[in-house]
Amino acid sequence: MMGKSLSALFKKDCRMMAAGKFFVVALGSLLLYTLFINFGYVKFMDANANIYKVYLYDPVGAFGQVSPLVDKVGSLEELNEALALDIGSGVGVKVLAGQPEVVMYRGAEQADRHRVDYALSLLHSDGEYPPEIVGGNTVEMKLRREITCELLFIEIVAVGFLGIASVLFKEKQMGVIRVHAIMPLPKSLFIFSKIFLYLVADLIFATLMTLFNIGLAGAGSILPGVLLQTAILSLIMALAGFGCVMLFKDFKQFSLAYLVIALFAASPVFLSANTSIKMDWIDCHPFYHVYMGLKNAFFDMPGTGPAYYICAVCAIILLSMLVSAAFRQEMSKEG
């Protein structure tokens, strides 16, 4: 009987999602992201792959043979001028007492070591200064993994969250949630069916995103990790969306909450992960850990420990309990 009820709920939810054009939107997003990554982002970023310009002021000629990628300058003023024009990525090297001294006008903290290594390796083209190799990704593959991870995160945080909310708001407005209060079925099945359906949709989306943008060869090893992280994010967002619909009266109120949640979930994460803005408190931001979990999975890095998984499970259990209470309250409201 429970299986029959769940199957009926599942079929109905699929129809509601189809009627709300959820599948069309998800397919459109997948297509758009894939086209953007393959024909826009990767090509554009690849054209600018030679990103760190190295300027060398070596008046005594301490470094005779240097890489052709190094731009030699004739004076300190010229070096300063070049760096002033190339604030974001330029690296200056001045050799005054026989020892190279690195000069940078601006840079992200995490990227400095990277730039210094790059500049010094160009000066020692004989292999005396071998740069540390991190990972086996080509520039293009690194870019693909980064942007696929970011877009997948956005898709689940924003679109998935809105998707479940739009279907539930329709049911709430039609009053049918209250009818389920007098149906002979465990009420948690109503919640479970929806969360499960959105989880499956997100997992399919993540699989296709990974396959289309990382490629079959690269996706094979990372897919289990990506799907695990996607499942954690999807469950959290779907439960949060469900809870918000139960708490808020109409879509207008929900839209405001959505803005706050989307900003809370996404902004600090992207600012911290992709820009030079430094936020000491980012470690306290729960979505930063979820995002880093997903990013580590895309780069096949063992970055997520058991504490993260324990917290994620606790968060999902807590959200489930809150959603269940809000759902029961909604069912007993006045007609």
Partner 1 sequence: MIEVKNLTFSYAKDKQALHGLDFTVGDGEIFGFLGPNGSGKSTTQKILAGILKGHGGMVSLFGQDIRSIRSQEFFQKIGVLFEFPYLYANLSALDNLRYFASFYPKEQLRDVEEVLEELEFKRDFLRKPVSSYSKGMRQRVSMARALLSNPKLLFLDEPTSGLDPTGAVLFRKIIENERQKGTTVFVTTHNMLDADLLCDRVAFICNGNLVALDSPRNLKEQNSKRSIVVDYLYQGQRYKKTLEAADLKSGIPFAYDELISIHSQEPTLEDIFVQYAGRGLS
Q: Which is nearer to partner 1, 98 or 184 (CB)?
A: 184
* Rounded Cα distance, 278 and 45, in Å: 24
Kindly give the pairing relationship between strand 100-103 and strand 91-95.
antiparallel
Binding site for partner 1 (CB under 8 A): 1, 4-5, 7-8, 11-12, 15-16, 19, 171, 174-176, 178-179, 181-186, 331-332, 334-335
Query: Least distance to partner 1 from the beta carbon of 40, Å?
Result: 37
| 142 vs 178, beta carbon nearer partner 1 | 178
User: How far apart are CB 234 and partner 1 at their closest, in Å?
Assistant: 25
Whole-number Å distance between alpha carbons of 75 and 287: 48
Q: Which residue, 10 or 36, has its beta carbon nearer to partner 1?
A: 10
Distance CA 157, CA 262 (A): 7
Distance CA 50, CA 83 (A): 16
Give the nearer residue to partner 1 in terms of CB position, either 165 or 292.
165
Of 19 and 284, which CB lies nearer to partner 1 in the complex structure? 19
User: C-alpha angle 45/291/220, rounded to 5°?
Assistant: 70
Least separation, in Å, of the C-beta of 250 and partner 1? Answer: 17
CB of 104 or CB of 185, closer to partner 1 = 185
Amino acid letter, 178? R
Question: Smallest gap, in angstroms, from Cβ of residue 169 to partner 1?
Answer: 13
* Distance, CA of 53 to chain centre: 29
Handedness of CA 173, 156, 255, 332 (dihedral sign): positive
Q: How many CB atoms are located within 10 Å of the residue 177 CB?
A: 19
- H or E stretch covering 3: helix 2-19
The string of DSSP letters for 55-68 reads EEE-TT-S--S--T
- What the block records as the tokens of 136 is 């086996």
Q: Give 228 or 331: the residue with its C-beta nearer to partner 1.
A: 331
Phi, psi of 93 (to 5 degrees): -130, 120
